[in-house]
Amino acid sequence: MNEPILKVATPLQTPAIKLPNMSNYWVPFTANRQFKAMPRLFKAAKGNYFTSIDDRQILDGTAGLWCVPAGHGREEIAVAVAHQLRTLDYAPAFQSSHPLAFEAAERVAAYMPAGLDRIFFTNSGSESADTALKIALAYHRVCGNPLRNKLIGRERGYHGVNFGGIAVGGIAGNRKAFGNSLAGIDHIRHPLDIANNAFTRGVPEDGGVALANEFEQRIMTLHDPATVAALIVEPMQGSAGVIVPPAGYLKRLREICTKHGILLIFDEVITGFGRLGTKFGADYFDVIPDIITCAKGLTNGVVPMGAVAVKREIYDAFMENSAAGAIELPHGYTYSAIPIACAAAIATLDIFAAEKLEDRAAGLSQYFESAAHSLKGLPMVKDIRNIGLVAGIEFEAIAGKPSAMSFATYLKCYESGIHVRYTGDIIAISPPLTIEKHEIDRIFNTIAEAIKSIAAAGDAGLDFTLYLKNEQEWAMHQQSIAEDITISESANLHHKNIALEHLV
Ligand code: PXG
């Protein structure tokens, strides 16, 4: 039996490793053909490091997908989840529940800004976004204002991948493949202004109020404010490449929403749980929205869980204005507040309380900022943005080669044992809040070396096939992928079993 054997490109010349059958899994948000030709697989994680399938330690510069603030492999969470699994695996989520759901809600409410203490559980950031939008629409309806049914998002906003989220979202590539959006949607401008603010450290000083005023002057004039249900924004736009709002901007949005009776939703899926050096972005910017969505860090990325926190008045409006015995909000998921997720969330919040991870992030943020901005002046670097323990490095766009520079940087870093994210022409760094100073140095030094070596190689530096050692190896790579697919299609099950044996 020909098992697919592939050499993963590493500078360490690791021996050939056996890969799983890669044909069945449709990898999300990934260039599947490219990835399967050059896979990056992790088999273990502890603290701030992954172990790759070829047994290298890879420093996690992204906290997974922004979702592992307390570091990997936290024993406290594993124990809590394992115990819960053996005690109560599942309780029906509708018309019945279990005590831990209420305890988790109480803990999440206590972690939220004051007043946002009614908690609806979901299973992801996408579900949290759609849940928040539905609550906003239903809220106005239950209050007797059904014509308040328009939703406003922001250009370059990311609110997950469900239909509500992509409708208010503003990343074109995530929308255009999926036909007609929801009706009654509009977008305000994003606050990224590289021309004026390039290489700003932290929050840009100028332009915030004027930009927020556009919401009132342009968008609301077009729609009639009395028809707008909610505005949804991320306090700091993460997925679109670390867009830090200018001073006064979010405060002004808050004032405008309040003036016109529009609910303000902060999507804190990335900014929640200490990322900015405060519990939430709302705390960092001292702006209290009506609804906060979160996910990711809520369970330290261990079990899928999201939450939507609403102001008590919103919850009360549903309770007071619904017919006796009626379901006040016909919405929810089979796995809303599933016991293991509640156990993971409580254990995560215990870790945050014991280790004061927000304060730790705040304490490191200056050091992190200096390290990030030390990359200023390197070839191709057009802007560096940062806030808390987040940094974005934006490259000059290369005509006809979108993302080539960021992708090459990402690959080079991976080869050098650092995991970063690339999105468009931007590299994003968002390590676990447990990161150490020497690890921060290593992340940015490695990125700097990667940028220099790619730039020194000219056009060839942007050809990802060259990250394999030579053309012959690339050809082998391609061939083994072809074999992998052929083999797996003829003997899928057998193959899969072999592959799994090698993985565990
Ligand atoms: N809202 C925001 C603000 C997000 O950042 C979601 C909603 C959706 O969450 P789920 O759990 O449905 O994926 C997100 C997710 C990246 C990256 O590297 C960002 C996200 C997800 C994956 C990668 O920028 N954000």
Contact status, residue 43 vs residue 499, Cβ threshold 8 Å: no
Whether 6 has a pLDDT exceeding 60, the answer reads no
User: pLDDT tens across 27-44, in order?
Assistant: 999 999 988 988 999 999
Q: For position 255, which CATH number holds?
A: 3.40.640.10
The answer to whether residue 195 is domain-embedded is: yes
Same domain, 375 and 332: no
Whether 476 has a pLDDT exceeding 90, the answer reads no
C-alpha span between 220 and 443 (Å, rounded): 43
Note the pLDDT of residue 7. 38
Note the pLDDT of residue 465. 59
Contact status, residue 244 vs residue 391, Cβ threshold 8 Å: no
C-alpha span between 71 and 270 (Å, rounded): 15
Same domain, 62 and 179: no
Burial (0-12, 13-18, 19+ Cβ within 10 Å), 120: buried
One DSSP character per residue, 213-245 reads HHIIIIIHHHH-GGGEEEEEE-SSB-TTT-BPP
Note the pLDDT of residue 462. 78
Same domain, 125 and 95: yes
| Structural domain ending residue among the three candidates 336, 355, 374 | 355
Question: How many domains does the chain divide into?
Answer: 2
Kindly state the average pLDDT of the residues 190-199.
Answer: 97
Greatest CA separation for the chain = 73
Kindly state the average pLDDT of the residues 361-384.
Answer: 98
| 295 Cβ closer than 6 Å to some ligand 1 atom | yes
User: pLDDT tens across 223-268, in order?
Assistant: 999 999 999 999 999 999 999 999 999 999 999 999 999 999 999 9
Contact status, residue 263 vs residue 285, Cβ threshold 8 Å: no
Same domain, 298 and 418: no
The region, left, alpha or beta by phi > 0 then psi within -120 to 50, assigned to residue 71 is left
User: pLDDT tens across 397-453, in order?
Assistant: 998 888 899 999 999 999 999 999 999 999 999 999 999 999 999 999 999 999 999
Same domain, 303 and 361: no
The answer to whether residue 5 is domain-embedded is: no
- Ligand 1 atom with least separation from CA of 160: 8
The answer to whether residue 477 is domain-embedded is: no
C-alpha span between 111 and 282 (Å, rounded): 12
| 406 Cβ closer than 6 Å to some ligand 1 atom | no
- Mean pLDDT, the chain, integer: 90
Angle between helices 437-456 and 357-373 (to 10 degrees): 30
Same domain, 114 and 248: yes
Nearest CA owner, ligand 1 atom 19:
239
| 297 Cβ closer than 6 Å to some ligand 1 atom | no
| 125 Cβ closer than 6 Å to some ligand 1 atom | yes
Whether 474 has a pLDDT exceeding 80, the answer reads no
Contact status, residue 390 vs residue 369, Cβ threshold 8 Å: no
The answer to whether residue 30 is domain-embedded is: no
pTM summary value: 0.91
Residue type, 51: T
Note the pLDDT of residue 494. 32
Contact status, residue 374 vs residue 402, Cβ threshold 8 Å: no
Residue whose CB lies within 8 A of the most ligand 1 atoms, among 158, 161, 243, 299, for a mutation test? 158
C-alpha span between 250 and 23 (Å, rounded): 46
> What pLDDT band is residue 11 in, cutting at 50, 70 and 90?
very low
Nearest CA owner, ligand 1 atom 21:
65
Same domain, 273 and 216: yes
376 CA from centroid of ligand 1 (Å): 27
- Ligand 1 atom with least separation from CA of 124: 11
Query: Which of 126-140, 166-180, 351-365 has the lowest average pLDDT?
Result: 166-180
Whether 211 has a pLDDT exceeding 60, the answer reads yes
C-alpha span between 352 and 338 (Å, rounded): 21
Residues paired with residue 45 on neighbouring β-strands, in sequence order:
50
Note the pLDDT of residue 17. 77
The answer to whether residue 51 is domain-embedded is: yes
Q: Please, which residues have CB within 8 angstroms of residue 360's CB and are 6 or more apart in sequence? A: 274, 433, 434
Same domain, 347 and 374: no
Q: How far is CA 393 from the centre of its chain?
A: 17
Q: How far is CA 344 from the centre of its chain?
A: 19
C-alpha span between 482 and 462 (Å, rounded): 24
The answer to whether residue 179 is domain-embedded is: yes
Contact status, residue 360 vs residue 275, Cβ threshold 8 Å: no
- Its sign, for the CA torsion 69, 74, 79, 85, is positive
Query: Residue 387 sits in which domain range?
Result: 39-68+357-467
Same domain, 158 and 276: yes
Whether 14 has a pLDDT exceeding 80, the answer reads no
First-to-final CA distance of the chain: 20
Q: For position 373, which CATH number holds?
A: 3.90.1150.10
Q: Which tops the pLDDT comparison, 245 or 499?
A: 245
Same domain, 173 and 147: yes
One DSSP character per residue, 125-176 reads HHHHHHHHHHHHHHHHHHTT-TT--EEEEETT----SSHHHHHH---GGGTG
Same domain, 217 and 305: yes
| Structural domain ending residue among the three candidates 329, 355, 381 | 355
> What pLDDT band is residue 385 in, cutting at 50, 70 and 90?
very high
384 CA from centroid of ligand 1 (Å): 21
One DSSP character per residue, 88-115 reads -S---SSS---HHHHHHHHHHHHHSPTT
Type and span of the H or E element at 254: helix 249-260
Same domain, 227 and 369: no
- Ligand 1 atom with least separation from CA of 295: 11
